C-alpha cells in the first residue's frame, strides 16, 4: 500500500492474471501504465471504450486495505474483496469480458500512441505481454473458469 498521493515505482509493478487453468505475471511497467491505467490519460472515448477501460482501471492492488476498495461490478466482472487476512482483493471476470477489455485498450493505445507518448519499444513489449495474457484467457475459457486479476507494487 502506498501513502495517498505517492506514486508507486512502476518498474516494480507486477500484474497477476490467474485462473485454475493457469496464470501469468506481467512484470512490464508499460503494460500497467498504458493498458491498466490507460483510462487515466484523459483520451476522448466512446461509451464502450470507457466501459472497457473502467474494468481495467478497477483491477485492485493486492495489498490495499479492503475499506479503500470500490465495490464495483459490471457485465461479466466484479471486485472480490478479501475473505481473510491471508487473502487479497481481485478483479474477477469472464475470460471473454477481460479479453474484450484488453483488446479495446490495445486498439486505443495504437490509435493514440503519439498522444500518450508511448514508444515503439514499449508497444512491442506490451504486445508480447498481451499475447501471454491471451493464452491464459484462452485456457480459462476452454476450461470454463473465471479469471482473477490484481497487481502489486
Domain count, the chain: 1
Q: What is the pLDDT of residue 2?
A: 42
Does a structural domain hold residue 2? no
Q: What is the pLDDT of residue 82?
A: 86
Torsion of CA 73, 9, 110, 24, to 10 degrees: -60
Q: What is the pLDDT of residue 33?
A: 92
Q: What domain range includes position 48? A: 10-84+98-144
Q: What is the pLDDT of residue 5?
A: 46
Q: pTM of the full predicted structure? A: 0.88
Give 10-residue mean pLDDT values along the chain (153 residues).
48 90 94 93 90 92 66 84 87 96 96 94 96 97 96 87
Q: How far is CA 16 from CA 23, 24, 47, 153, in A?
A: 7, 6, 27, 11
Does a structural domain hold residue 135? yes
Does a structural domain hold residue 47? yes
Amino acid at each position: 500500500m502506498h501513502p495517498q498521493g505517492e506514486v508507486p515505482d512502476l518498474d516494480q509493478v507486477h500484474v497477476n492474471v490467474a485462473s485454475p487453468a493457469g496464470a501469468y505475471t506481467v512484470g512490464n511497467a508499460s503494460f500497467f501504465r498504458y493498458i491498466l491505467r490507460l483510462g487515466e490519460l484523459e483520451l476522448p472515448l466512446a461509451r464502450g471504450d470507457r466501459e472497457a477501460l473502467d474494468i481495467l482501471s478497477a483491477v485492485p492492488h493486492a495489498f490495499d486495505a479492503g475499506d479503500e476498495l470500490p465495490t464495483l461490478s459490471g457485465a461479466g466482472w466484479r471486485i472480490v474483496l478479501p475473505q481473510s487476512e491471508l487473502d487479497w482483493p481481485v478483479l474477477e471476470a469472464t475470460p471473454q469480458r477481460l479479453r474484450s477489455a484488453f483488446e479495446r485498450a490495445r486498439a486505443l493505445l495504437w490509435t493514440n500512441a503519439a498522444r500518450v507518448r508511448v514508444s515503439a519499444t514499449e508497444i512491442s513489449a506490451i504486445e508480447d505481454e498481451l499475447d501471454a495474457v491471451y493464452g491464459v484467457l484462452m485456457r480459462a475459457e476452454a476450461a470454463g473458469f473465471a479469471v482473477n486479476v490484481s497487481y502489486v507494487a
